Amino acid sequence: MTLTAVPGVRVGHWTDPDGLTGVTVVVPPQPNVAAVEVRGAAPGTRETALLAPG
């Protein structure tokens, strides 16, 4: 089974081969619980603070 086979889960991906970068987005159905793990020497994150409790 793959993640895209789970009903209601949407997955998107984009790659920039010239920039050697990309992004994957997973959107689960609501309600949901979310978390993030960031790795790498120079990660670029946006809005990850929204996952903080409260």
Amino acid at 42: A
The total number of structural domains in the chain stands at: 1
Q: What is the pLDDT of residue 53?
A: 80
Q: Is the pTM of this model over 0.85?
A: no
Strands 10-16 and 21-27, how do they pair?
A: antiparallel
Q: How many CA atoms lie within 13 A of 41 on its CB side?
A: 0
Residue 49 pLDDT > 90 = no
| CA-based nearest residue to 26, from 48, 4, 44 | 4
Range of the structural domain that residue 24 is part of: 3-51
Q: Which helix (H) or strand (E) holds 15?
A: strand 10-16
Q: What is the pLDDT of residues 4-48, one digit of tens each?
A: 899 999 999 999 999 999 988 889 998 888 888 888 888 788 888
Q: What is the pLDDT of residue 35?
A: 81
